[in-house]
């Protein structure tokens, strides 16, 4: 239910912010304009894979260990199929030695948890950066921020910073388990007593993150004016210009070089791509064609990226629809794994 709530929050934001254009980044430098809905759906995709890993981890609990004994089984007339059925398992485990020794089900859970933690940390870092004074186009809800004890103007993203910090503990728990397991002979060793501590710590931190992250996302907004202002030099559209040249029959290597010279000239003249007159376009890059100049806008750039998975508004709408279907399937799949309940 908590993972589903996170996916629901991302879908809701993606739908609400579908038509908002913001900068997309590589190397933390402005790269191309994107739909903010596309941004939220990127995180949806990452967390949806985490959901699949979680279901896989739950599937690793389908076999019942009861009756394996200390390591060799039992001389008692136990019906392991019956006990497995009564306890809600699919079947008994197949080898008593492996049953006692293996902690794969814990590793499967931790595998889910560490990737979930990595994805949470990346999202937290993004939101912290986008809400900073230097970027400033993401508006975090006051309820998840704090002021400074000295500086009255500060709005510190404490909850996101704590999420980013806590994810390290989750990753450490997985590492600790693997280091413990790597040196053990079959079957049971007292070292395995330590596996519970990391498991409980990880579960606790994952639950804490899932308690605060969905409402934080749901209350986050975009300052559209600030986002647009940050892209006012138009240089994010350089790739659009290069691709236009490719459409005109120019090889991409040459198109890239020509567009690079155009950008350099804009910087030298202290002009944005939007400021160039038709005469300057004819002077600097006549191959583009004057019919393309009116299309050179941030919104048009987003609208034209219609490849599957792209940032075009219509494509993002498709992603949202597909995401809703995935969420419904995930809820059904998670509900179907309540096999622990005895009949």
Other Cβ atoms less than 10 A from the Cβ of 319: the count is 24
Backbone angles phi, psi at 18, to 5 degrees: -55, -45
| Rounded-to-integer distance, Cα 121 and Cα 164, Å | 5
| Rounded-to-integer distance, Cα 288 and Cα 154, Å | 47
* CA dist 126 → 26, 28, 240, 245 (Å): 12, 10, 25, 33
Q: Which of 217, 228, 100, 121 is nearest to 168 (CA)?
A: 121
Can you say whether residue 245 is alpha, beta or left, with left for phi > 0 and alpha for psi between -120 and 50 degrees?
alpha
Q: Which of 232, 229, 30, 20 is nearest to 129 (CA)?
A: 30
- 96 catalytic per annotation: no
- 110 catalytic per annotation: no
The vertex-126 CA angle with 125 and 128, nearest 5°, equals 65
Tokens 């485990």 map to which residue?
93
Q: Which of 237, 221, 212 is nearest to 292 (CA)?
A: 237
| Rounded-to-integer distance, Cα 336 and Cα 324, Å | 18
SS3 319: helix
Please identify which of the residues 74, 91, 132, 148 carries the catalytic annotation. Answer: 148
| Rounded-to-integer distance, Cα 258 and Cα 249, Å | 13
Burial category of 316 from C-beta neighbours within 10 Å (exposed 0-12, middle 13-18, buried 19 and up):
buried
Strand partners, 146: 156
Please identify which of the residues 27, 48, 74, 229 carries the catalytic annotation. Answer: 27
- Name the residues annotated as catalytic: 27, 148
């Amino acid at each position: 239910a908590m993972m589903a709530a996170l996916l629901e929050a991302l879908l809701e934001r993606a739908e609400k912010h579908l038509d908002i254009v913001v900068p997309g980044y590589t190397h933390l430098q402005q790269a191309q304009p994107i739909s903010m809905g596309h941004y939220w759906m990127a995180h949806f995709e990452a967390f949806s894979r985490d959901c699949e890993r979680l279901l896989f981890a739950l599937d690793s609990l389908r076999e019942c260990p009861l009756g394996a004994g200390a390591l060799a089984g039992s001389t008692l007339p136990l019906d392991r199929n019956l006990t497995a059925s009564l306890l809600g398992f699919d079947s008994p485990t197949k080898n008593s030695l492996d049953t006692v020794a293996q902690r794969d089900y814990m590793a499967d859970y931790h595998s889910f948890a560490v990737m979930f933690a990595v994805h949470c940390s990346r999202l937290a870092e993004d939101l912290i950066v986008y809400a900073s004074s230097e970027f400033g186009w993401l508006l975090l809800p006051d309820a998840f921020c704090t002021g400074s004890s000295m500086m009255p103007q500060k709005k510190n993203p404490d909850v996101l910073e704590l999420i980013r910090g806590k994810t390290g503990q989750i990753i450490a728990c997985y590492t600790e388990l693997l280091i413990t397991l790597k040196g053990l002979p079959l079957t049971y060793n007292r070292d395995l007593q330590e596996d519970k501590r990391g498991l409980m710590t990880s579960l606790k931190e994952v639950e804490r993150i899932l308690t605060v992250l969905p409402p934080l996302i749901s209350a986050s907004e975009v300052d559209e004016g600030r986002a647009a202002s940050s892209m006012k030099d138009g240089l994010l559209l350089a790739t659009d210009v290069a691709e236009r040249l490719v459409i005109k029959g120019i090889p991409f290597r040459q198109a890239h070089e020509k567009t690079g010279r155009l950008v350099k000239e804009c910087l030298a003249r202290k002009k944005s791509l939007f400021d160039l007159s038709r005469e300057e376009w004819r002077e600097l890059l006549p191959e583009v064609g004057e019919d393309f100049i009116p299309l050179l806008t941030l919104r048009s750039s987003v609208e034209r990226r219609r490849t599957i998975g792209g940032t075009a508004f219509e494509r993002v709408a498709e992603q949202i629809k597909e995401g809703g279907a995935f969420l419904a399937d995930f809820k059904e799949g998670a509900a179907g794994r309540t096999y622990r309940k005895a009949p």
